Amino acid sequence: MSGRLQFDTETSRIIESLYLTPDVVAQQRQVLTALALREGERVLDIGSGPGLLAHDMAASVGRDGRVCGIDISEDMLAMSRKRWRRSTLDRIPEGRHNQPTLPG
């Protein structure tokens, strides 16, 4: 056992529901404000999780911008891709799986 938290389907679902609570939604809004993204910018979201912030960042950078979310967990990526597919954005984020080469 590595001691690393496993972001499997069940854990991913729990994290996603936490990320939809008013406190976390407000915190993500602050992050988005602090980033002050502009149209056309490119963003790499390392550990993009359920993809909520990546989705909002994609809205900020517009159709000429690009957001790529990478995550160690396939379950998290599957969850974010599902969210992004339901989106009405012109250009949705891309999601990629990465090996755990970044510190967990």
Give residues in contact with ligand SAM (CB under 6 A): 7, 15, 19, 28, 46-50, 52-53, 70-73, 76, 98, 100, 102, 104
* Cα 53 from chain centroid (whole Å): 5
Kindly state the smallest distance separating residue 38's Cβ from ligand SAM, in Å.
20
> DSSP per residue over 54-99, as a string?
HHHHHHHHTTTSEEEEEES-HHHHHHHHHHHHT---SSPPEEEE--
Residue closer to ligand SAM (CB basis): 12 or 65: 12
Residue closer to ligand SAM (CB basis): 66 or 78: 78
